[in-house]
């Protein structure tokens, strides 16, 4: 398919869109361009802390979608993220921070501080086997046994706002307005178009946007990152007269599929990415090491799904370079909007009393929906898949496994898996001018997404639920405050305490510097492995045979975690891909059945009308003949 988009990716609903379609369906240059002259690694000086501290600071949570570990300039990226980098200079970067392998479980843990098997996201609708449906912890939406960050902040006198992707349930009792947010403009789905109110074709019938619990319409001149920040600024300004501090949860669609960016943002990268994903993966690894994010000389594996760039034909290389240019443009466009929000807070005198948290919900998206003929035929009917349109309006573009390996550099694996590339993402915590957070620091100790709620609670004085909330029993927060790490007083607040994780049979157990991990097919072979993820973050050396006692002890720790959290074993022969495929065809089958029923109803109504008209004419004819 010369000139067609064939090496990017999207979501294999396997015949409709693809894996991530269903699962995920979850500014100037600050660093070194691939073909530019080297730029000195940016220094991160520590500004003098301010002595003034309000009783309750504002809180801004900036959640990126599907950004890999090195997708930020301050973590090794070559594209421009100057505003996020500025937050890194003002705060602390966490280089050993972990989330879930897919969006909804991470989002649920982020806003509750409760593990996903206890907050309802033990699995998602697209990947849950029928045997698990309805079992405790497998609600596939955020349950009502947890308290959200919005509820905690509102109880402490905060104004609470939410904009962007929600994806934790779309009934009125589960939308943001019912879960603690005073104002919310939210997308209930896993993803949607970035230029218009359009769903991801083949996955949803419509793009379900809501404002304050009611169906909403996007403006005519819409681009997702700009609109999400516009709305948040409107909400913040609209409640300013109250004098209350605010919690602002800003949830971007970038860089979730479809990868789309304004033309000018794509154009700024048009000379880049021609050397391919392997060269980029290596360049990022060196950059991350130079910045102190990973150890110097960190070894890397080459993922089995990474094609040899040299064996691609000229058209494939052009299309692949173009989609990465769009990905970079989408990231820079999001960064620009973050800068606009920060500039607004500075202009209104709120910046220095605001805590900022930046993170991604999981690793980079690897799937390529154009890999199968059936998918290509479907997508070509619904989108302009020409080379010139990659990343623009009416496109469905994704970076695929090659570029995803670079986005996760130097880690192994990507989104969906329990490998570090799926679970380890950038985290920045900043409180400009305040001694509670070291400026320009890097923390290499283990940290987890459930730690965000207790960290903000300690910094801002928020009430934490510990088994009971407003007269009802709830799940207690299990995360630990990162404040000792932010102050430089501790390497990790978790010490040698085990922390488990599981999603769709892919599982991990973290303990100190070590990680026990298992990935089911097609990502892995179901075998447990052991790694030192501090010395070997790329997971290149399995230590199971060298450390049999630790290996056995951590397996016992995982079994204890699974029992305590109600983790269910996957049915024999289960794979996430097969379940996604079944879900996809069930979804499409229901749509076809509805359409067929509607068509049959229309035909039946037409026949009834014709028979009625014919009988009426006969009665009239008989009446005239008798007269």
pLDDT, residue 611, reads: 66
pLDDT, residue 522, reads: 83
Residues 316-367 pLDDT 10s = 999 999 999 999 999 999 999 999 999 999 999 999 999 999 999 999 999 8
Tokens 């999207």, located at residue = 10
State the alpha helices, DSSP H only, in 185-313. Answer: 224-238, 263-267, 277-291
Q: How far apart are CA 287 and CA 40, in angstroms?
A: 10
Nearest partner of 400 among 371, 422, 376, judged by Cα: 371
Q: How far apart are CA 479 and CA 302, in angstroms?
A: 33
Cα separation values, 569 from 68, 101, 134, Å: 29, 18, 15
- Return the DSSP state at 242: G
Give the rounded distance of the alpha carbon of 557 from its chain centre.
Answer: 28
CB 118 within 8 A of CB 147: no
pLDDT, residue 369, reads: 81
Instruction: For the beta carbon of residue 21, count every other beta carbon within 10 angstroms.
Output: 32
Q: How far apart are CA 353 and CA 460, in angstroms?
A: 10
Calculate the CA dihedral of residues 581, 582, 586, 592 and round it to 10 degrees. Answer: 50
Nearest partner of 367 among 3, 15, 5, 21, judged by Cα: 21
Residues that are catalytic: 103, 167
Structure tokens at 387: 């080379």
What CATH architecture applies to the domain 19-495? 3-Layer(aba) Sandwich (3.40)
- Residue ranges in the chain modelled with pLDDT below 50: 1-53, 624-627
- Return the DSSP state at 428: E
Cα separation values, 584 from 124, 168, 207, 416, 579, Å: 13, 19, 17, 17, 8
DSSP secondary structure string for all residues of 363-388? S-----GGGSHHHHHHHHHHS--BGG
CB 269 within 8 A of CB 241: no
What are phi and psi for residue 248, nearest 5 degrees? -115, 110
């Amino acid at each position: 398919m010369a000139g067609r988009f064939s090496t990017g990716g999207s979501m294999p609903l396997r015949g409709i869109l693809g894996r991530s379609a269903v699962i995920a369906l979850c500014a100037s240059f600050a660093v070194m361009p691939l073909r530019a002259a080297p730029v000195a690694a940016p220094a991160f000086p520590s500004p003098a802390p301010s002595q003034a501290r309000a009783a309750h600071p504002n809180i801004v949570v900036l959640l990126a979608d599907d950004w890999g570990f090195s997708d930020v300039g301050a973590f090794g990226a070559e594209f421009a993220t100057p505003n996020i980098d500025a937050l890194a200079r003002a705060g602390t970067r966490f280089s050993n921070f972990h989330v879930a392998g897919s969006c909804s479980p991470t989002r649920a843990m982020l806003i509750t501080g409760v593990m996903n098997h206890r907050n309802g996201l033990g699995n998602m609708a697209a990947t849950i086997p029928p045997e698990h449906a309805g079992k405790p912890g497998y609600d596939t939406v955020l349950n009502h046994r947890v308290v959200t960050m919005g509820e905690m902040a509102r109880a402490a006198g905060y104004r609470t706002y939410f904009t962007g992707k929600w994806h934790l349930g779309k009934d009125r009792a589960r939308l943001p307005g019912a879960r603690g947010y005073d104002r919310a403009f939210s997308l209930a789905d896993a993803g949607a178009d970035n230029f218009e109110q359009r769903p991801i074709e083949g996955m949803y019938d419509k793009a379900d946007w809501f404002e304050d619990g009611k169906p909403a319409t996007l403006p005519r001149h819409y681009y997702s990152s700009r609109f999400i920040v516009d709305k948040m600024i409107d909400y913040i300004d609209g409640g300013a007269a109250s004098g209350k501090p605010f919690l602002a949860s800003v949830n971007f669609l970038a860089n979730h599929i479809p990868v789309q960016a304004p033309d000018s943002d794509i154009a700024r990268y048009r000379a880049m990415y021609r050397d391919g994903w392997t060269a980029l993966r290596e360049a990022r690894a060196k950059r991350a090491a130079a910045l102190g994010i990973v150890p110097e000389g960190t070894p890397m594996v080459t993922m089995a799904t990474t094609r040899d760039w040299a064996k691609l034909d000229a058209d494939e290389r052009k299309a692949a370079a173009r989609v990465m240019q769009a990905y970079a443009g989408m990231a820079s466009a999001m960064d620009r909007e973050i800068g606009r929000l920060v500039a607004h807070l500075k202009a209104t005198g709120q910046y220095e009393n605001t805590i900022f948290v930046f993170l991604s919900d999981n690793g980079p998206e690897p799937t390529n929906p154009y890999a199968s003929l059936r998918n290509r035929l479907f997508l070509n009917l619904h989108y302009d898949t020409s080379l010139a349109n990659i990343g623009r309006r009416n496109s469905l573009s994704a970076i695929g496994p090659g570029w995803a390996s670079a986005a996760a550099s130097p880690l192994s694996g990507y989104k969906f898996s329990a490998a570090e590339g799926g679970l380890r993402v950038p985290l920045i915590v900043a409180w400009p001018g305040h001694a509670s957070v070291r400026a320009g620091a890097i923390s290499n100790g283990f940290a987890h997404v459930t730690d965000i709620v207790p960290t903000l609670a300690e910094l801002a004085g928020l009430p934490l639920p510990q088994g009971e909330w407003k007269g009802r029993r709830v799940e207690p927060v299990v995360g630990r405050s990162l404040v000792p790490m932010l102050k430089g007083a501790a390497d990790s607040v978790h010490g040698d305490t085990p922390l488990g994780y599981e999603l769709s049979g892919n599982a991990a157990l973290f303990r100190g510097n070590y990680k026990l991990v298992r990935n089911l097919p097609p990502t892995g072979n179901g075998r447990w492995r052991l790694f030192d993820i501090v010395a070997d973050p790329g997971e290149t050396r399995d230590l199971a045979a060298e450390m049999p006692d630790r290996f056995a002890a951590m397996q016992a720790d995982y079994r204890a975690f699974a029992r305590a959290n109600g983790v269910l074993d996957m049915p024999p022969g289960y794979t996430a891909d097969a379940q996604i495929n079944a879900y996809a065809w069930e979804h499409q089958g229901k749509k076809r059945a509805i359409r067929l029923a509607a068509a049959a109803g229309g035909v039946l109504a037409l026949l009834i009308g014709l028979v009625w008209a014919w009988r009426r004419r006969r009665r009239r004819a008989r009446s005239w003949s008798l007269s």
